[in-house]
Every structure is written in C-alpha cells, then in structure tokens.
Amino acid sequence: MKLAGTLRQQQQQQQQRIVNAGAAQCTINALRREAARSSLAQSGALVAYSGAKTGRSPTDKRIVAEMPSMKRVWWGPVNTPLPPSSFESALSRARSFLSRQPVQYFVDAYAGADARYRLKVRIECSRAYHALFMQNMLITPTADQLATFGDPDFTIVNAGECPADTSLAGVNGSSTLIAISFERKAAVILGTEYAGEMKKGVFTIMHYLMPLRNVLSLHAAANEGSTEDDVTLFFGLSGTGKTTLSADANRKLIGDDEHCWSKDGIFNIEGGCYAKAIDLSAEKEPEIYNAIRFGAILENVEMDPVTHAVDFSSRAITENTRVCYPLDFIPNSKSPSVAKHPKNIIFLTCDAYGVLPPVSLLSPDQAMYHFLAGYTSKVAGTEQGNLRGAPTATFSPCFGAPFLVHPPSLYADLLKQRLDERKTDGGPGVRCWLVNTGWMGGPAGGERTGKRIPLQYSRSIVDAIHSGELLKTIEQESCVTPFFNLRIPTKAVTGIPAADFFDPASAWKAEGFSEEVYTAALRQLLDRFESVRKDVLNGTVGTVG
C-alpha cells in the first residue's frame, strides 16, 4: 500500500502541467508525444486524429438532474437526466485518468466577447490537440487578464481517451459520456476525443446561462459590412453554410457558429472557427483555405504520406473532416467580436426535399414559424449514428436543437422580443430571409435526385441581400409560392442567371419532373411542418440532433 502510494506520488510529481501552452508548444507536443495520432500538414497546420468518434455523440449527452437547474431544463428529446452521483463518479474517473498522464494541459480563457456576459472557462485535458483546439476556439485573455483570472466560472474536464464506466446509472451502457452539471459548474467528457464536443459543450452552457440574463444565445454566424449597422446573422444547423457564407472577403467576420444577442447588440461566444473541410478548395473557399497554416488544426483528414499534402476530397476517415483556427486567421475579422443589432437575419436551410426556393423574404410571423420549426436536413458526418449517405430532412427547433437547454419556446420568445425592440426603435425592423443552400430541382436522395444549389449562387443571393438589391427587387417584382406562401423575386439579381432560378417549380420542370411530382413533394413537406407545429405546441418537438 505504502509503496503503491509512493509510486503514484512520484508519477504525479513527474507529470508536466502546462497552462495556456500556445500553438508552438501544443503542436510540438502533439507531434512528439502523440506521434501515432498527430502529424504536420504541408501547410504547417497540426493534423490530429480523434480516433473512433469523428462526430458529436448526441445520444450520450447528459444533463445532471439537480436543483434548482433541473426545474428549468427542457427534458425530452434532447436533454437526458443523469443522477448527481453518476456525475461525481464520472468526474473523479476523468480527473484520475488525467492525473496519470505524462502531461496535463490547462486552458484558461473566455467564452463571450462582451465583458459583461463572458464566462471564465477552464479546460483540463491530456491531448495537446485538445488544448490547442480550445485555445483557438475560446477567447484568449491578455496577460493582465490572465494574471487576475482566478477561479473559473465553469470547468470542462476532457478525458476523452478514457472510456466512461458503462455500469453507471443513467448512462445506458455507453462508454461515451458528455455530462454537464450546472450546479457543479463542470462538464466531463469520457470516451470520445472528437474536439467539437468541447466547443458545443460551452455552447450548451451558454444556452443555459444567457437566457437567464435575458440574452438570446444563437446557433448562428455573424458578419458586418462597411458600416457598423450592417450586421447579418446566419442561422443554420451543421453543414448549412454558416462558416462558408459568413467568411466573405467584403465583410468583417464576427464569428462562424455561436453568438448571443443582448439588448445592446450581438457578440461572439468564441474566438475561433471550426469549418467543415470536406471538398474544401482554394478557389471556392479562399478565406478558409488560407487559414490552414501553423496554429490551425486539421482534424481527421487524409494526407499524402510523403508530401503531407491534404486530400480534402477523401472520405476515408469521415465526411466530417474539420479545420479549426483562431478568428484572426480570416482576413478582415472583427476584434473584439462585438457588433450592433442585426439588420438582416438569414435562416439557412439545407432542403433535402428540394422544394424550397433559393431565397424568400419572410414576414415577422413566418420568421417565428420557421425559427421554431427549424426545418433543415442533417448532413452526414457531424453526428455519430448519421455518418454516411444522403442528407435527411429534420426539424431542429431554433436551428440548433442539440444545444438547447431551456424549452424552444423560451428562445423563440426572446427572439420575438429582440425583433420587436428593433421595430419600436423607429427603425425599419430586421429583415428575415429563408435561404435554401440545399437541393433544388428534385430531392437529395432516392433514384432521381436534384442537385445542391451551387455555392456561387448562394453567395450571390447573400451579396444581393447585403447590397439591398434583393429587397428592392422583391418590392418591385415578386410572387408568393404555393402552400408555404413564401415571397420570392420574379426578376433576376446580380450573379443569378435568370428569374426562374428563384422558382422551385421551374427547377423541377427543367429536371424533367412533372408538376404533380413536384406538388406532391411540396405537400409532403408542408404536412411534416404542420405535424411539427402540433409537436411544438405540446412541447415534444425536436429529435436528438
């Protein structure tokens, strides 16, 4: 007993504990100490492999059932309770694992660019890539801020290399566990090394805390034009184009994924971006491509073993290949990433039915309807359990169901409040747009498919929203689509080949589908919306993920 204790003591003494290591130390340590699971890309970015899990594990996420937070949580399809005793046991297991590793990393940084609302977050982990990931993704404190950082407001203990205890009450026999305790102000990750769990864990925590302070948390990207009041929010579930469309050479990037909207304006929760890298090219997405350099992390990509050139088209490891970089790797990013109220809100939907128009202007009621329904599709890869294949239609309230903690109606009420505040300010109010970045001229799956709307055209639509051309066009020449009553332009705008591009019926016809087939698909989607509306009313809406 005594000997074992001494050995453990020695081992612990030998452990290196590194706080806020920085990109160089993390990259070097990953290459030296995790050589089998790390490498260096030709561009200088750290290449890291997350092992068996290459996407989020939504069914393994747990919220600790404890007072008083449990009274507020939206228990149901997304949030599953975990007994406090299981949480304590998982936390000890994770900390004990970390204490036995040769190096333990600590990252102290902020979530929330607005100092009034920011959260001091501490990450404890044993993989250098996880430490670098969160240094990139959180907001780095200055040396002065670090000196007075003190105790964190929330701690995330990531022992992802260590499996969870499958016999724990409340974990359902799974060796993966992502558990959050709002009372202990801690989260534990076991049995998954996918780095996205940490950033979405922080997002979940903010989704709990911010609405309690009358601040709306949003699954949205944001950017700003040449004047400060030209701010756009891009809402959307994974893979709908938040990161891609918000990186725009003509606008300042505020953030690509997680924001908050207070009574004074918007702010980014994060300090970095986490872009999808599948089929990435310098031509189509130059800003993101050029961010792949020393300090960035490429996750789960395949490389040429000799040249270390990345094959962005390879799906050998996963569809969900990623690149993570600090916000300032994008030229023109805004720091601090705080901005005024949005002028435009874009709901990005990746329509797998292929029946929604490429763009429509929503009335305030339609905007609320679409926000609560969150119709989109899940693209393969981002979540375990949906790793391959065609996108599938889903309804994800607030375009971010996997991260909601309170009931969806609470976020919807806050959105309504923010939108109403803009109107009573005497301004024109916020324009809300529904932009389909998914399929057109036919469905995504099945025997005969349509095609995904070319990125170039989605960019032209976004440009026309920003220049005001689209609004002007719609005010002059527009019509309303059947069933969904969506207002679409009947005249082309800059970058769009012809007016009928905006009309889904024309697109189906051009692909050789009969009007009946198109109408049937449209009706089927409307029926799904209607049944979701009932679910929204009785609080059961939202699938896991």
Ligand X SMILES: C=C(OP(=O)(O)O)C(=O)O
Ligand Y SMILES: Nc1ncnc2c1ncn2[C@@H]1O[C@H](COP(=O)(O)OP(=O)(O)O)[C@@H](O)[C@H]1O
Chain contacts with ligand X (rule: CB under 6 A): 56, 196, 200, 238-239, 242, 257, 274, 382
State the nearest-atom distance from the C-beta of 388 to ligand Y, in Å.
Answer: 16
State the nearest-atom distance from the C-beta of 292 to ligand Y, in Å.
Answer: 14
Note whether 243 binds Mn ion by CB under 5 A. Answer: yes
3-state secondary structure of 75: strand
Could you say which of 238, 437, 473, 481 is catalytic? Answer: 238
| Residue count, binding to ligand Y (CB under 6 A) | 18
Establish whether 257 is a catalytic residue.
yes
3-state secondary structure 444-500: CCCCCCCEECCHHHHHHHHHHHHHCHHHHHHHHCEEECCCCCCEEECCCCCCCCCHH
Note whether 196 binds ligand Y by CB under 6 A. Answer: no
Of positions 368, 390, 455, 517, contacts ligand Y by CB under 6 A = 455
Q: Can you tell me the distance from the alpha carbon of 234 to that of 435, in angstroms, rounded to the nearest whole number? A: 10
Q: How far is CA 133 from the centre of its chain?
A: 15
Establish whether 184 is a catalytic residue.
no
Note whether 458 binds ligand Y by CB under 6 A. Answer: yes
Establish whether 219 is a catalytic residue.
yes
Establish whether 243 is a catalytic residue.
yes
* Residue 200 interacts with, from ligand X, Mn ion, ligand Y, none (CB under 5-8 Å by kind): ligand X
Note whether 239 binds ligand Y by CB under 6 A. Answer: yes
State the nearest-atom distance from the C-beta of 239 to ligand X, in Å.
Answer: 6
How many of the other CB atoms lie within 10 Å of CB of 365?
A: 8
Report which DSSP code applies to 294: B
* Residue 278 interacts with, from Mn ion, ligand X, ligand Y, none (CB under 5-8 Å by kind): ligand Y
Q: Strands, E, within 27-118: which ranges? A: 38-40, 46-48, 61-64, 81-82, 103-111
Q: Phi, psi (5° rounding) for residue 344?
A: -125, 140
* Residue 196 interacts with, from ligand X, ligand Y, Mn ion, none (CB under 5-8 Å by kind): ligand X
Q: Phi, psi (5° rounding) for residue 428?
A: -75, -5
Establish whether 89 is a catalytic residue.
no
Which residues are within 8 A (CB) of 147 and not within 5 positions of it... i.e. 6 or more apart? none
Establish whether 43 is a catalytic residue.
no
Closest to Mn ion by CB, 197 vs 257, is: 257
How many of the other CB atoms lie within 10 Å of CB of 333?
A: 22
Q: Phi, psi (5° rounding) for residue 35?
A: -55, -35
Q: Number of C-alpha atoms within 13 angstroms, CB side, residue 304?
A: 8
Q: Strands, E, within 193-237: which ranges? A: 216-224, 231-235
3-state secondary structure of 23: helix
State the nearest-atom distance from the C-beta of 437 to ligand Y, in Å.
Answer: 4
State the nearest-atom distance from the C-beta of 116 to Mn ion, in Å.
Answer: 26
Of 114, 112, 136, 115, residue with least CA distance to 123: 136
Site string for ligand Y, 275-314 (x = CB under 6 A): xx-x------------------------------------
Question: Which of the stretches 8-16, 225-233, 274-282, 525-533 binds ligand Y when contact is defined by CB under 6 A?
Answer: 274-282
Establish whether 500 is a catalytic residue.
no
Note whether 238 binds ligand Y by CB under 6 A. Answer: yes
State the nearest-atom distance from the C-beta of 544 to ligand X, in Å.
Answer: 12
Angle at Cα 199 formed by Cα 196 and Cα 202, nearest 5°? 145
Question: Which of the stretches 240-248, 295-303, 425-433, 443-451 binds ligand Y when contact is defined by CB under 6 A?
Answer: 240-248
Q: Strands, E, within 5-102: which ranges? A: 16-19, 38-40, 46-48, 61-64, 81-82
State the nearest-atom distance from the C-beta of 256 to Mn ion, in Å.
Answer: 5
Q: Phi, psi (5° rounding) for residue 498?
A: -155, 160
Note whether 245 binds ligand Y by CB under 6 A. Answer: yes
Of positions 112, 241, 542, 545, contacts ligand Y by CB under 6 A = 241
* Residue 152 interacts with, from Mn ion, ligand X, ligand Y, none (CB under 5-8 Å by kind): none
Q: Can you tell me the distance from the alpha carbon of 60 to that of 177, in angstroms, rounded to the nearest whole number? A: 5
Site string for ligand Y, 246-265 (x = CB under 6 A): ----------x---------
State the nearest-atom distance from the C-beta of 540 to ligand Y, in Å.
Answer: 26
Helix (H) or strand (E) holding 9: helix 2-14
Note whether 119 binds ligand Y by CB under 6 A. Answer: no
State the nearest-atom distance from the C-beta of 482 to ligand Y, in Å.
Answer: 24
Establish whether 276 is a catalytic residue.
no
* Residue 453 interacts with, from ligand Y, ligand X, Mn ion, none (CB under 5-8 Å by kind): ligand Y
* DSSP letter string, 235-288: E-STTSSHHHHH--TTSEEEESSEEEEETTEEEES-SEEEEE-TT--TTT-HHH
Q: Can you tell me the distance from the alpha carbon of 246 to that of 459, in angstroms, rounded to the nearest whole number? A: 10
Which amino acid, one-letter code, is at 344?
A: N
State the nearest-atom distance from the C-beta of 285 to ligand Y, in Å.
Answer: 6
| Residue count, binding to Mn ion (CB under 5 A) | 3
Closest to ligand Y by CB, 256 vs 299, is: 256
Q: Which residue is nearest to ligand Y (CB)?
A: 241
Greatest pairwise CA separation for the chain in angstroms: 85
* Residue 509 interacts with, from ligand Y, Mn ion, ligand X, none (CB under 5-8 Å by kind): none
Question: Which of the stretches 72-80, 250-258, 260-268, 502-510 binds Mn ion when contact is defined by CB under 5 A?
Answer: 250-258
* Residue 56 interacts with, from Mn ion, ligand Y, ligand X, none (CB under 5-8 Å by kind): ligand X
**Contact yes or no for 109/121 (Cβ under 8 A):** yes
Could you say which of 50, 53, 54, 56 is catalytic? Answer: 56
Note whether 321 binds ligand Y by CB under 6 A. Answer: no
Catalytic residues: 56, 200, 219, 238, 242-243, 257, 322
Residues lying near Mn ion in the complex (CB under 5 A) are found at 242-243, 257
What does the binding site for ligand Y look like in residue numbers (CB under 6 A)? 236, 238-245, 256, 275-276, 278, 437, 452-453, 455, 458
